[in-house]
A and B are shown apart, each in its own frame.
Chain A
Amino acid sequence: MADDSPASHRRDPIKSSVGNVAAQRRRQNAVTVGKERRESLVRAKRLCRVGPSGDGDVPGEENDMVTDEEGFLLDAQTSSAVEDLKSAIAYQGKGAMQKRVNALRELRRLLSKSEFPPVEAALKAGAIPLLVQCLSFGSPDEQLLEAAWCLTNIAAGKPEETKALLPALPLLIAHLGEKSSLPVAEQCAWALGNVAGEGEELRNVLLSQGALPPLARMMLPNKGSTVRTAAWALSNLIKGPDPKAATELIKVDGLLDAILRHLRKSDEELATEVAWVVVYLSALSNFATGVLVKSDAILLLVERLATSNSLQLLIPVLRSLGNLVAGDSHTTSTVLIPGHEITDGVIKVLVKCLKSDHRILKKEASWVLSNIAAGSIEHKQLIYSSEAVPLLLRLLSTAPFDIRKEVAYVLGNLCVTPSGGDGKPNLIEEHLVSLVQRGCLSGFIDLVRSADIEAARLGLQFMELVLRGMPNGDGPKLVEQEDGIDAVERYQFHENEDLRNMANGLVDKYFGENYGIDE
């Protein structure tokens, strides 16, 4: 097969006629295969299968390589293509450029065919140094584009494969410049996004090589796929855990403006990637959080939450809002003032998320509410009298565990006054009584029964509020009615000393010998 010219690597015609069966096989494989493939599905790297101008293999029409036989064939073809590239580069005569482009194109096609491209074969055949050569300054755009595309897909795989791009990084960064054609810059950004998505080490390399400023500048235009790709690459680049990059990003001239502009006006796809940038800015950098809180960002996030129905967009927008509330006390104390329109707006969109079908929205919206409920008494009153409470009560009894835990935080926070300096919060009896009367106690006792330490702790703490705070000493009786005593007594043989002590403290104090004896 070695002397076949690249153009004749055609798929066996018989296979392509059983499209349906193949598609089924492909899907089956994607779902039922082992851990490695599953991990690749949740990796923060993205394969490029369709080029900027729409060319390239259309996913869905080609069979993904599923059998070992086909994989073996593809590997062989790939090695061959790399060989061809090598000779094309060495060739000095007439039509050299076209030869190089053709060879690159063929390699690129092989690397774009399926969700699991033959990266290892390409690396083994020595693709990287050749591709680096093809990135040299002054090369024609087509060549740069194809080379960057190949590198993009090589970087989309396993960690060691991504790391192989190290020699190419300075050139990729250089081609982000404003003198580059847009498709070239975008493809380089994509490759760099994959590298950044690999891990902290590579992120630091990219940052020290100056990748951030040119990528940031690519976000400034109003629209275009380049803006979107750059935003995505940036979100990978700044995701830390070191907050330095996030802080550096928000300081880039014109960047805050661009973020707000995109959040306000851009289409949902672009807004989604920008929102992820905001997620990382707000989660990592206190400086960036402060800047964002003082701007219109919260208003714009609320707008998006109110008007969009795209889960992909709602997740980062909600989380950004959550991070801004969680990260800075100013958000609740100076922006989300109870009674102000913006605050009502926030509650409203959080309620919308609670009503949604999506687990993540329900969970993270509850988290945001719990942080607002950790604010002033007025904040607690605001939430208590809103539409949120009936929804939360229902979620507490019916939702999956991780949502119930967050809901518990909201409800409990509604029942205690803000923590003073001495850490002795008092109860807000009105809220406690009402919530208990509406049946929340059994939900908390369920948490006491769970194997999750944090949840059990919450349940016990709420039980304590009930035992202590229900008027007329009704607490113990109510707890007993919900089988609370039984739940608490389980802790006798529990490993966790903290919980054991809590549980026993409650039993001893409220269910001692004198329990139930009329005064």
Chain B
Amino acid sequence: MAMVVDYKHDSSFPYWTSIRRRFAPDSPFFSSGNIERELLAKQVALDFTEDERNQLEKMIDTDARGVFCPIVGCGARLTLLEDFEDHYNTRHTASCSVCSRVYPTSRLLSIHVSEAHDSFFQAKVAHGYAMYECLVEGCDLKFKNYKGRQQHLVDKHKFPTSFEFFKKAHPSKKQRLKNQRKRAVNKKDEEVSSKMEVENEMMEGLVSAVSKLSTSDSSPSTVSFGRRNARGLTFVPRSVQPPLQKK
């Protein structure tokens, strides 16, 4: 019987270990069995029908199994665990119609759309306006460039240094091969903060074309979800630093 023997031990991941699990008699693990015991005992006296019993059990179950949505800033109460998937699909899959990236809130989606696909946004940036919003709801600070905002997130809001708001979406295999060939040709490491797709194409053209822009606020309307805004939002390190090319 083959075993995969020791691999490079990466100390940060909590690997699956098989251990015995013991529960105290009043543990929530046992509660449905305990409820069943009492219901069965009283069933005779009260003469429940099957339907009524199921209804009762569901009522009791529901109370016990409610949970709050774990997506940052949401805090929606889900009465049943099963509701989470629906809730997630309804509330946390705002997808960009241009590039299909998905964001967990409309606000983040809006910010993405402005920063990645809006030529006027880029034009304003070029003119020195502070356009890059802080991602933390309620902070309201704006920055003149992506890096500046990034630094703010790290310094002020304790984001991990490797966090990337604008990250590469998962390219198709074809695209990956293309990219690899390109990199081999260029022979340089890409910058950690990946360049905006829009930037190169639009920048040169726009800056010259646009003279004066109205200062109408093009920042997206913020939609607030849930009640937990007061807590510091800590985003994730989704580090897409390309590892050094192996040959």
Contact = CB atoms under 8 A, between A and B. Distances in A.
Given A367-B21, A451-B78, A496-B70, A504 B46 contact: no
Interface stretch (B79-87, B115-123, B207-215, B216-224): B79-87
Contacts of A390: none
Contact of A516 (B1, B105, B176, B242): B176
A283 B23 contact: yes
A426 B6 contact: yes
A327 interface: yes
Interface stretch (A175-183, A210-218, A256-264, A463-471): A463-471
A41 B176 contact: no
Given A424-B9, A451-B70, A514-B243, A326 B21 contact: yes
Contacts of B19: 374, 419
B87 to A, nearest CB: 8
A337 B237 CA distance: 47
A235 to B, nearest CB: 10
Nearest to B47: A60
Given A326-B22, A451-B69, A427 B40 contact: no
B70 A371 contact: no
Interface in B1-51: 1-7, 9-10, 12-26, 29-30, 32-42, 44-49
A250 B29 CA distance: 25
Contact of A315 (B37, B56, B237): B37
A418 B18 contact: yes
Contact of A425 (B16, B39, B235, B242): B16
A360 B56 contact: no
A426 B82 contact: no
A360 B36 contact: yes
Nearest to B2: A429
Interface residues of A, number: 105
B7 A30 contact: no
Interface residues of B, number: 80
A461 B16 contact: yes
Given A401-B82, A504-B238, A42 B39 contact: yes
A441 to B, nearest CB: 14
B161 interface: no
Contacts of A428: 1, 3
A124 B92 CA distance: 56
Contact of A27 (B26, B39, B41, B49): B49
B65 to A, nearest CB: 8
A443 interface: no
A59 B236 contact: no
A162 B9 CA distance: 58
Interface in A439-456: 449-453
A294 interface: no
A202 to B, nearest CB: 15
Interface in A352-390: 359-360, 363-364, 367, 370-371, 373-374, 380-381
A137 interface: no
Contact of B45 (A47, A359, A371, A425): A47
Contacts of B22: 323, 326-327
B232 to A, nearest CB: 11
Q: Which 5 A-B pairs have the closest CB atoms?
A: A513-B242, A413-B18, A451-B84, A326-B22, A492-B236
Interface of B: 1-7, 9-10, 12-26, 29-30, 32-42, 44-49, 52, 55-56, 59-60, 67-73, 78, 81-82, 84-85, 88, 92, 104-105, 108, 170, 173, 176-177, 180, 234-240, 242-243, 246
13 contacts: A27-B49, A30-B52, A42-B39, A316-B37, A359-B32, A374-B18, A418-B18, A426-B4, A428-B1, A461-B15, A493-B73, A498-B14, A517-B180
